[in-house]
Chains A and B, each alone.
Chain A
Amino acid sequence: MGELMEHEELLQRTARMLMRRAGWVRRRALLLQALFIGFCVCLALAVWHRFVPLPIGRLVEFGLAAMVLCAVGAIVLGLRSRADPMGLLIRADRTLRLKERLSTAYELATSPHPHPLRPIVLQEAARVSRSVNPFRVIPSTTPRTLRWTPFLLLAIVLVLVVDFGMILPQSLIGGDERPSPLLLDQGQQLERLGKRLETEARRRGLERSVEASRRMQTLGQRLQNERVNEREAMARINSLAEYVRNLEEELKKMAVLEDVSISKVREVMVNQASVSGEVQRLLGMMGRGKLSPSEMRNLQERLQSLGQQGALDERLSEAINQLREGDLEGAREMLENYLLQDQLAQDFEHLKRAERALDGSFEHGLDPGEEMDQDHPGSEGGEFSNDEMAGDPRGGSGGLPGDFEGGDYLDSEGMGSNSSVGSGRGAESEAPRGRIPEANAPASRITGQSGDGGVRRSYVRALPLKADAAIPLEDVITTYQKRAEESLLREEIPPNNRDLVRAYFLAIGLAEESAGSEGKDEQRDR
């Protein structure tokens, strides 16, 4: 009995050992399956996150919760499941090729009916059960579905990281909805700003700025078209706005974005206003008494605009500084001094030129009186021969020669001296911008002796040269002025050219502006 019991106990122990092993393997397999299901849930959450964005922390919490739930479910299932000992023994028989010894013996051992061969069957089973290795009978196997786990993880990462807006149509990724109006507006603004910056940067030849402005435009378009996280988008916009501000500052420093100043400069140039005229207008503004802050700002800007066209010297800078400090009187005084000195300098320049001309005339022994009468541009225009008129700027309507700019006021040194006159013909569009009103003066023909028996011809604008004049300037200027005014009154000057004549006299300070005749008298006195 004892031997039989021992054999039976050995068989039962083998069965229990196999059951434990089977339970462990099953629980492990269930846990792995649960892990896989958890990953699937994480993938689903990631996909959901693409459509309905969740905070990353919340997303991670959901994913972990799903994994834990699956694991708990697997453990519960594993604890509840019980392996059938008969099935395990059959498996052991088949795996270890025991020829159904264990299963038959177990059946006899658990059967209520006695069997004549039960003792030897149990003995045989007990003998072979010692060789039963549960790890061989029930090896640990990994569920086949887990082969897809790496792909699943990769898919999760891809779904979370990859911007599908670049790959898939918007309709597939829930992009049918329009972005919020705020984003749309910001995107449009960004795009506009980018275009504007690109234009300016291109004009200035700033390659990096052009590139940056293009990126801004692209980002602006994306903001309008993509459905992105609003918070994220706003952060992006803020950083971009800061970048744009910096860029704008830089461009401002380079006067790229100074549209106001540029327009002012253009205005000054188009209106043929001289620096002095602008200074006079500024003084007029300052003479009205106390200025409002906006007027003060306007004043500063106009002074700066003068600086932009190259007229900003130390005195004007000082005037601007005084304006900034609120010292209106000081600035006014400074500007008046500047204007006075400028006028004196111009007058002195005229005198020097006249003196140079007279010296040249004496040297060549010409009768300047005849020539002056014959060549006066205001009264006798159109009398020159064709070759002499070649360099006449009046031939082009509104076209002005550029010789004042370069200082070639008079070329008295050779036959080719009229080249500078002719050069102004082809620059009709540029002329109004960089010329002072003196450039509108008609050309005069000056003929004189040059060397041994040579005849010298020169074309000048503005005042006649000293060498061609028989009477000092002071004596004739009043006559000329009167004649000019009479001509204007007689309407002998063609209506189209009256403005030019007026501008000429205004430029040389010998005529009065209709708006400021009082100042004109003062200047004439000076």
Chain B
Amino acid sequence: MSSATDEARSAELRQKAEGIREDLHRLIREIEKVIVGHREVIEGILISLLCGGHVLLEGVPGLGKTLLVKSLGRVLNLQFSRIQFTPDLMPADIIGTNVVIEDESGRKHFEFQRGPIFAQIILADEINRATPKTQSALLEAMQEQSVTVAGIAHHLDAPFIVLATQNPIEMEGTYPLPEAQLDRFFLKLNVTYPSIQQLEEIVDRTTQRDPTELQNILDGERVAEMKEFVRAIPVAAHVKNYAARLVLATHPDSPYATDLSKRYVLYGSSPRGAQSLVLGGKLKALLDGRYNVSFEDLRTIAIPSLRHRVILNFEGAAAGIEQASIIAEILEKTPEVVRGA
């Protein structure tokens, strides 16, 4: 009896895993109908979505960041909201506020008016243009998936994902995100300039044909189911140890620290970095058709997971050191397996 149950459960799991992988690939293919290239960015956004994280997209204007997020909202059949961050944007403009409402009988009462944060996919466009006060309005929503207004907590619908964009070159009149906010982003993805073939493809798609209509691939329920499955993917002890050593290596005072991190890092990654590594590794494994996390999965996800969590010291900032290069050195010098680990 036990044998039959196990076999049935095994078959069910396999079927479920295959279904999830198939859905993910369908989702990627659908987005790629609109977005040319940027496969890693798409995968990163999916990873964050299925891991319950948020994404900070960084890139110069015109690279399709907003289009990517809007396309994601369409294919996922989730509520999509776009917030254009400006210097005069107030927290209430994001979260919402209590307004006085007069009913038919003439009585007046306060009623909470939801802000644009009440959606499932939030596009926080040019998030660094808002003041830190406004930026902080997102903190609770991103971490707790709820907002509190006038002492009343308002829960946000799951799945909830914030996709923030920022322009790295127009720094005048911008407010860099505080470290606490940065740490709440699951991944930081760089949207790079397309190659010549990709650019030709973009030109073709946007000048010759009508915009492609995207289909809904997933809904919120399916996403929640997938999230549950991804979290169940096992991680071997030595792989977890590797992830922990990678994160510790970003700390300048750690025994695992590399030369660059010792010299240019002020603060290393928080434990959220390790969570991000392992969860991201799990989804990478699933996308790769495996049910276990490998060292390679961790290495793939390490830079997007950790780079925004590493805070450079003055020397590093002055020297123009990129956090990605520090993470790359850590990946190069940290052994996968150590004796006695």
Residues of A within 8 A of B (CB): 1-4, 86, 90, 93-94, 99-101, 103-105, 107-108, 115-121, 123-124
Contacts and interface: CB of A to CB of B under 8 A. Distances in A.
Contact of A101 (B237, B238, B292): B292
B292 A121 contact: yes
A176 to B, nearest CB: 51
B165 to A, nearest CB: 33
A425 B279 CA distance: 131
B4 to A, nearest CB: 8
Contacts of A99: 285, 288, 290, 292, 294-297
Nearest to A119: B10
Contact of A104 (B13, B234, B288): B234
B7 A94 contact: no
A116 B2 contact: no
Contacts of A118: 234
Contact of A100 (B6, B9, B293): B293
Interface string B1-40: 0111011011001100100000000000000000000000
Contacts of B233: 117
B337 interface: yes
A119 B17 CA distance: 12
A86 B339 CA distance: 12
Given A90-B238, A103-B238, A104-B239, 12 more contacts: A3-B7, A99-B295, A99-B296, A100-B236, A100-B293, A100-B295, A101-B292, A107-B237, A117-B233, A118-B234, A119-B7, A119-B13
A1 B337 CA distance: 33
Interface string B220-234: 000000000000111
Nearest to B13: A120
A32 B131 CA distance: 71
A125 to B, nearest CB: 8
Contacts of A117: 13, 17, 232-234, 291
A94 B290 contact: no
Query: 7 nearest interchain CB pairs?
Result: A1-B3, A119-B10, A99-B294, A104-B292, A104-B236, A100-B294, A116-B232
B234 A121 contact: yes
A104 B336 CA distance: 14
Nearest to A106: B236
A390 B90 CA distance: 157
A1 B10 CA distance: 10
Contacts of B238: 86, 90, 100, 103
Contacts of B292: 99-101, 104-105, 121, 124
Given A2-B3, A117-B233, A100 B239 contact: yes
Nearest to B239: A100
Contacts of A94: 336-337
A117 B228 CA distance: 12
A120 B291 contact: yes
B6 A120 contact: no
Contacts of A115: 232, 234
B182 interface: no
A103 B236 contact: yes
Contact of B10 (A3, A86, A100, A101): A3
A94 B288 CA distance: 17
Contact of A124 (B2, B4, B232, B290): B290
Given A104-B239, A120-B291, A1 B9 contact: no
Interface in B268-308: 285, 288, 290-297
Interface string B108-119: 000000000000
23 contacts: A1-B3, A1-B4, A2-B3, A3-B7, A4-B3, A90-B238, A94-B336, A99-B285, A99-B290, A99-B294, A101-B290, A104-B292, A108-B234, A117-B17, A117-B232, A117-B233, A119-B6, A119-B10, A120-B13, A120-B14, A121-B292, A124-B291, A124-B292
Contacts of B290: 99, 101, 124
A4 B7 contact: yes
B331 to A, nearest CB: 16
A411 to B, nearest CB: 119
B235 interface: yes
A114 to B, nearest CB: 10
A4 to B, nearest CB: 6
A100 B238 CA distance: 9
B337 A90 contact: yes
Contacts of B7: 1, 3-4, 119
A94 B285 CA distance: 16
Contacts of B296: 99
Nearest to B236: A104
A103 B6 CA distance: 22
A418 B296 CA distance: 127
A489 B193 CA distance: 152
A124 B293 CA distance: 13
Contacts of A123: 10, 14
A107 B236 contact: yes
Nearest to B285: A99
Nearest to A107: B236
Interface string B293-331: 111110000000000000000000000000000000000
Contacts of B297: 99
Contact of A116 (B13, B236, B294): B13
Contacts of B337: 90, 94
Nearest to A3: B7
Contacts of B288: 99
A219 B2 CA distance: 96
B10 A120 contact: yes
Residue picked from A1, A120, A124, most chain B C-beta under 10 Å: A120
A2 B6 CA distance: 9
Nearest to A103: B236
Nearest to A91: B337
Interface in B231-259: 232-239
Residue picked from B234, B295, B336, B337, most chain A C-beta under 10 Å: B234
B112 to A, nearest CB: 40
B291 A121 contact: yes
A271 to B, nearest CB: 104
A169 to B, nearest CB: 49
Contacts of B239: 100, 104
A101 B297 CA distance: 12
Contacts of A93: 294
A152 B137 CA distance: 76
B219 to A, nearest CB: 23
A505 B74 CA distance: 163
